[in-house]
Amino acid sequence: MNETTTPPNDTIVLRRIDPARNMARYYALTLEPTLFGEVAVMRHWGRIGTRGRSKSCFLGPMEAARTALRRQAERKRRRGYGTADLSSFPYLPEPLSP
C-alpha cells in the first residue's frame, strides 16, 4: 500500500461482504476537529458504492475520542467486518492530521 491508500491511525475503514446474503457493507470511523478545539468521532456506513449515512459523536479530548474509535471498530469486527482499503471509499472526508 502506498501513502494515499494507507489510512492514518485515526481512520478505520471496515467492510463486510457476504454474497449469499446479498450483503456489501462498509463502516468507516474518523476523528475530526470541532469548532471548540475538541474532537468528534464521525461514523460513516452504508452499502458499498453508495454515500450511505453518517453520524458524529462529540467526545472532547483526543484520547477519549481515540478510545471510542477503537471500541466501535472492535464491535464491528466481532460482527464480521474486516479491514478495507481507504481508496475504495473516495467520498469519505479527509482524515484528521496529527
For the whole prediction, is pTM greater than 0.85? no
* 1-55 per-position pLDDT tens digit: 333 333 445 889 999 999 999 999 999 999 988 888 888 899 999 998 888 899 9
* 72-84 per-position pLDDT tens digit: 999 999 999 998 8
The predicted pLDDT at position 38 comes to 85
Three cell numbers written together for 98: 496529527
The domain spans of the chain are 11-84
Superfamily of domain 11-84: WGR domain (2.20.140.10)
Lowest model confidence (mean pLDDT) among 26-30, 64-68, 83-87: 83-87
The answer to whether 53 and 42 have CB atoms below 8 angstroms apart is: no
> 3-state SS of the chain?
CCCCCCCCCCEEEEEEEEHHHCEEEEEEEEEEECCCCCEEEEEEEEECCCCCEEEEEEEECHHHHHHHHHHHHHHHHHCCCEECCHHHCCCCCCCCCC
